[in-house]
Amino acid sequence: MKTEYRKFDIKIPTLEGDQVAEVIPLEVPVVWDEEIGDWLLTEEAHSLIEDTKARHMGLLLPHQFLELRQRHDLSQSGIGELFQVGAKSWTRWETGKNRPSRSVNLLIKALFDNQITIEYLRQTTGDHSDMNRIVRHNFARKNATPAPMRMEMAVGQQAINNSGNLPESEPVYCKVS
Protein backbone atom coordinates (compact mmCIF):
# COMPACT_ATOMS: atom_id res chain seq x y z
CA MET A 1 0.00 0.00 0.00
CA LYS A 2 1.43 3.35 -1.08
CA THR A 3 2.12 5.67 1.87
CA GLU A 4 3.42 9.19 1.89
CA TYR A 5 3.55 12.20 4.18
CA ARG A 6 1.51 15.28 3.41
CA LYS A 7 1.40 18.72 4.94
CA PHE A 8 -1.76 19.20 6.97
CA ASP A 9 -2.78 22.58 8.41
CA ILE A 10 -4.11 22.29 11.92
CA LYS A 11 -6.29 25.26 12.82
CA ILE A 12 -6.23 26.24 16.46
CA PRO A 13 -9.43 28.10 17.31
CA THR A 14 -9.74 31.14 19.52
CA LEU A 15 -11.37 30.61 22.90
CA GLU A 16 -14.69 31.78 21.44
CA GLY A 17 -14.21 29.18 18.70
CA ASP A 18 -15.33 31.48 15.91
CA GLN A 19 -11.90 32.33 14.54
CA VAL A 20 -8.56 30.70 13.94
CA ALA A 21 -5.90 31.82 16.39
CA GLU A 22 -3.03 29.87 14.91
CA VAL A 23 -2.25 27.49 12.06
CA ILE A 24 0.13 24.63 12.81
CA PRO A 25 1.52 22.83 9.75
CA LEU A 26 2.15 19.15 10.32
CA GLU A 27 3.36 16.28 8.15
CA VAL A 28 0.91 13.38 8.42
CA PRO A 29 0.98 9.89 6.92
CA VAL A 30 -1.63 9.11 4.26
CA VAL A 31 -2.23 5.91 2.33
CA TRP A 32 -3.46 5.49 -1.20
CA ASP A 33 -6.62 3.39 -1.25
CA GLU A 34 -6.93 1.71 -4.62
CA GLU A 35 -10.64 0.93 -4.19
CA ILE A 36 -11.52 4.45 -3.12
CA GLY A 37 -9.14 6.09 -5.54
CA ASP A 38 -8.11 8.66 -2.97
CA TRP A 39 -5.63 9.37 -0.17
CA LEU A 40 -6.90 8.35 3.25
CA LEU A 41 -5.57 9.39 6.63
CA THR A 42 -4.14 6.62 8.75
CA GLU A 43 -5.11 6.12 12.39
CA GLU A 44 -1.69 7.49 13.30
CA ALA A 45 -2.36 10.62 11.24
CA HIS A 46 -5.60 11.26 13.09
CA SER A 47 -3.85 10.81 16.44
CA LEU A 48 -1.07 13.18 15.41
CA ILE A 49 -3.53 15.83 14.31
CA GLU A 50 -5.81 15.50 17.33
CA ASP A 51 -3.01 15.36 19.89
CA THR A 52 -1.26 18.37 18.39
CA LYS A 53 -4.51 20.29 18.33
CA ALA A 54 -5.41 19.27 21.88
CA ARG A 55 -1.99 20.30 23.17
CA HIS A 56 -2.25 23.72 21.55
CA MET A 57 -5.77 24.14 22.90
CA GLY A 58 -4.59 23.27 26.38
CA LEU A 59 -6.61 20.05 26.47
CA LEU A 60 -5.52 16.84 28.10
CA LEU A 61 -4.35 13.95 25.91
CA PRO A 62 -5.85 10.45 26.25
CA HIS A 63 -2.84 9.04 28.15
CA GLN A 64 -3.07 11.96 30.60
CA PHE A 65 -6.63 10.99 31.52
CA LEU A 66 -5.36 7.51 32.33
CA GLU A 67 -2.39 8.92 34.25
CA LEU A 68 -4.66 11.17 36.31
CA ARG A 69 -6.99 8.31 37.22
CA GLN A 70 -4.10 6.04 38.20
CA ARG A 71 -2.47 8.82 40.20
CA HIS A 72 -5.56 8.99 42.39
CA ASP A 73 -6.07 5.22 42.38
CA LEU A 74 -9.61 5.50 41.07
CA SER A 75 -11.66 3.22 38.86
CA GLN A 76 -13.16 4.60 35.65
CA SER A 77 -16.59 4.68 37.26
CA GLY A 78 -15.12 6.28 40.41
CA ILE A 79 -13.50 9.15 38.58
CA GLY A 80 -16.48 9.41 36.23
CA GLU A 81 -18.73 9.82 39.26
CA LEU A 82 -16.43 12.49 40.62
CA PHE A 83 -16.75 14.55 37.44
CA GLN A 84 -20.42 13.53 37.10
CA VAL A 85 -19.91 12.08 33.64
CA GLY A 86 -20.18 8.31 34.02
CA ALA A 87 -17.61 5.60 33.45
CA LYS A 88 -18.38 5.31 29.74
CA SER A 89 -17.44 8.90 29.01
CA TRP A 90 -14.23 8.61 30.99
CA THR A 91 -13.31 5.40 29.17
CA ARG A 92 -13.84 7.14 25.86
CA TRP A 93 -11.57 10.01 26.94
CA GLU A 94 -8.85 7.64 28.07
CA THR A 95 -8.95 5.73 24.80
CA GLY A 96 -9.15 8.91 22.74
CA LYS A 97 -12.46 7.85 21.21
CA ASN A 98 -13.97 11.06 22.42
CA ARG A 99 -12.95 14.26 24.19
CA PRO A 100 -14.69 16.27 26.86
CA SER A 101 -15.85 19.80 26.17
CA ARG A 102 -13.31 22.55 26.72
CA SER A 103 -14.94 23.67 29.96
CA VAL A 104 -14.97 20.17 31.45
CA ASN A 105 -11.42 19.70 30.24
CA LEU A 106 -10.38 22.86 32.05
CA LEU A 107 -11.64 21.44 35.32
CA ILE A 108 -9.94 18.09 34.77
CA LYS A 109 -6.71 19.81 33.76
CA ALA A 110 -6.80 21.84 36.96
CA LEU A 111 -6.78 18.57 38.89
CA PHE A 112 -4.09 17.14 36.61
CA ASP A 113 -1.89 20.20 37.22
CA ASN A 114 -2.56 20.02 40.99
CA GLN A 115 -4.25 23.41 40.95
CA ILE A 116 -7.17 21.87 42.81
CA THR A 117 -7.19 18.84 45.07
CA ILE A 118 -9.28 15.74 44.74
CA GLU A 119 -10.69 16.43 48.21
CA TYR A 120 -11.80 19.88 47.14
CA LEU A 121 -13.45 18.39 44.07
CA ARG A 122 -15.21 15.74 46.16
CA GLN A 123 -16.63 18.40 48.43
CA THR A 124 -17.55 20.80 45.65
CA THR A 125 -18.93 18.49 43.01
CA GLY A 126 -20.48 16.15 45.56
CA ASP A 127 -18.91 12.73 45.73
CA HIS A 128 -21.79 11.23 47.65
CA SER A 129 -20.40 7.75 48.09
CA ASP A 130 -19.94 8.28 51.85
CA MET A 131 -23.30 9.99 52.19
CA ASN A 132 -24.99 7.23 50.21
CA ARG A 133 -23.52 4.68 52.55
CA ILE A 134 -24.96 6.60 55.52
CA VAL A 135 -28.36 6.86 53.88
CA ARG A 136 -28.44 3.13 53.10
CA HIS A 137 -27.31 2.31 56.62
CA ASN A 138 -29.95 4.58 58.13
CA PHE A 139 -32.64 3.17 55.88
CA ALA A 140 -31.87 -0.35 57.10
CA ARG A 141 -32.05 0.74 60.73
CA LYS A 142 -35.06 2.99 60.31
CA ASN A 143 -37.74 0.80 61.91
CA ALA A 144 -35.60 -0.22 64.84
CA THR A 145 -34.37 3.28 65.59
CA PRO A 146 -35.71 5.20 68.57
CA ALA A 147 -37.57 8.40 67.76
CA PRO A 148 -34.87 10.89 68.94
CA MET A 149 -32.31 9.26 66.69
CA ARG A 150 -34.74 9.27 63.77
CA MET A 151 -35.00 13.00 64.24
CA GLU A 152 -31.20 13.30 63.99
CA MET A 153 -31.27 11.19 60.86
CA ALA A 154 -33.93 13.38 59.35
CA VAL A 155 -31.76 16.43 59.98
CA GLY A 156 -28.79 14.60 58.46
CA GLN A 157 -30.89 13.57 55.50
CA GLN A 158 -31.96 17.15 55.01
CA ALA A 159 -28.32 18.20 54.97
CA ILE A 160 -27.59 15.57 52.36
CA ASN A 161 -30.52 16.73 50.29
CA ASN A 162 -29.39 20.31 50.55
CA SER A 163 -25.87 19.57 49.45
CA GLY A 164 -26.50 16.66 47.18
CA ASN A 165 -29.52 17.35 45.04
CA LEU A 166 -28.29 20.02 42.72
CA PRO A 167 -30.63 20.62 39.82
CA GLU A 168 -29.34 19.03 36.62
CA SER A 169 -29.72 22.21 34.65
CA GLU A 170 -27.28 24.07 36.86
CA PRO A 171 -23.69 23.04 36.22
CA VAL A 172 -21.22 23.09 39.06
CA TYR A 173 -18.44 25.53 38.39
CA CYS A 174 -15.10 25.32 39.97
CA LYS A 175 -13.11 28.51 40.14
CA VAL A 176 -9.49 27.93 39.31
CA SER A 177 -7.14 30.68 40.37
Partner 1 sequence: MPLIDLPASWCQDVVKVLETGTTGREIRWTFDSTQDYESDFSYAFPNEVYPAIAAYLRGHQPRGCPKRMEKPPGETYDFFFTFKVKQAYGKVLLRPDRKNIVVFSAHLPRFPRLSCE
Q: Does 50 bind partner 1 (CB under 8 A)?
A: yes
Q: Which of 1, 2, 25, 43 binds partner 1 (CB under 8 A)?
A: 43
Applying CB under 8 A, which part among 65-73, 92-100, 110-118, 127-135 lies near partner 1? Answer: 92-100
Task: Give the integer Cα–Cα distance in Å for 174 and 177.
Answer: 10
- 4 by Cβ neighbours in 10 Å (0-12 / 13-18 / 19+) ranks as exposed
41 vs 135 by CB, closer to partner 1: 41
- Using CB under 8 A as the binding rule, whether residue 88 contacts partner 1 is answered as no
We find the least distance from the C-beta atom of residue 38 to partner 1, in angstroms, to be 5
Report, in Å, the least distance between residue 109 CB and partner 1.
Answer: 16
Beta strands 38-41; 3-13: pairing state: unpaired
- Compute the C-alpha angle 9/48/93, nearest 5°: 120
Is 63 among the residues that bind partner 1 (CB under 8 A)?
Answer: no
> Binding mask 1-20 vs partner 1 (x if CB under 8 A, - otherwise)?
-----x-xxxxxx---xx-x
Interface with partner 1, residue 85, by CB under 8 A: no
- Provide the residue count of the chain: 177
In whole angstroms, give the CA distance from residue 117 to residue 166.
21
Residue 164 CB, shortest distance to partner 1, in Å, is 30
Cβ within 8 Å of residue 137, ≥6 positions away: none
- The rounded radius of gyration (Å) of the Cα atoms in the chain is 23
Does 168 interact with partner 1 (rule: CB under 8 A)? no
What is the rounded CA–CA span in Å between residue 75 and residue 46? 28
Is 106 one of the binding residues for partner 1 (CB under 8 A)?
A: no
Q: CB 95 → partner 1: shortest distance, Å?
A: 9
Of 98, 164, 70, nearest to 78 (Cα)?
A: 70
* Site residues, partner 1 (CB under 8 A): 6, 8-13, 17-18, 20, 30, 33, 35-47, 49-50, 53-54, 97-99
